[in-house]
Amino acid sequence: MRIIRTVAEMQQYSEEHRKAGRRVAVIPTMGYLHEGHASLIQQARKNADIAVTTLFVNKLQFGANEDFSRYPRDFVRDCTIAEEAGSDALFAPENGEMYTETFSTVITVRGISDKFEGAFRRGHFDGVATIVAKLFGAVRPHEAYFGQKDYQQTLVIRRMTADLNLGVNIIVCPTLREADGLAMSSRNVYLAPEERGKASVLHRALQTASLLVQSGEIRRQEINFSMLEVLRTVGELQIDYACAAQADTLEEPEVFEETEPIVFLIAARLGAARLIDNEVWQAVK
């Protein structure tokens, strides 16, 4: 696996493969890789000719009081996981390579980034959209792979990619979970041992909402209440939101159409960890 540190080298590497007729895929990550990231790399390797994993902890998407300084990092471990999963190259630039002293451009995706994570983490999606656009410019991929766990993020990236005519096919892969249903995340390391078993309550709440809608419930407030009831069984959990929304737009009607896809979204804090999860319900046609 080739390790690339500069944008110029990354662009040259990609251009050589593109000229040879090979499809280039990118898997953007902030590192501290786990099985979920590995599954994205493996899927990219199946679909494309060249898989490029990016590793960059993007300060622009962290708020003033968030965990940028303590975000878990282990470069050697990440290299091993990426290579074993089939990554052909690892693009790992330094901060100064991506954000020069004269850097002054920020991308804002209005509307779909305003609520849920956007409301609780002001400026977060500006940072996400900006770095993903920059990574696309460096890697110049045909397609990009993201996990469904960051559901709202995938919608923001789809919108940004389409609006700016970037020509990158966005592929969203299912969330990988631990045996008890907890969504795999680099931030799960923040959970204390006594908190780890309680964290699966998010998945149980999502399953409860899915079963409720499957039984015929289409009133948004009732669906939301069903998730909150389950989440409140863990007294230490601090709930940011537990909401049902239209899966494509994140709009929140009082009553959903019977056949439209619905996404259930949860964000909550447990000890030092902020957990997010989601599930999409789609009527069987």
Q: Is 192 helix (H, G, I), strand (E, B) or coil?
A: coil
How distant, in Å, are the alpha carbons of 2, 3, 24, 229 from that of 13? 10, 11, 10, 52
* DSSP result, 152-187: HHHHHHHHHHHHTT---EEEEEPPPB-TTSPBP-GG
* CA pair distance 42, 87, nearest whole angstrom: 8
The answer to whether residues 113 and 87 touch, using CB atoms and an 8 Å cutoff, is no
Specify the pairing of strand 262-270 against strand 238-246: antiparallel
Catalytic residue among 37, 124, 142, 203: 37
Tokens at 266, concatenated: 């949860």
The answer to whether residues 15 and 8 touch, using CB atoms and an 8 Å cutoff, is no
* CA pair distance 256, 243, nearest whole angstrom: 13
Through-space distance between the first and last CA atoms of the chain, rounded to whole angstroms: 44
Phi, psi of 136 (to 5 degrees): -60, -40
Q: Is 37 a catalytic residue?
A: yes
Active site residues: 37
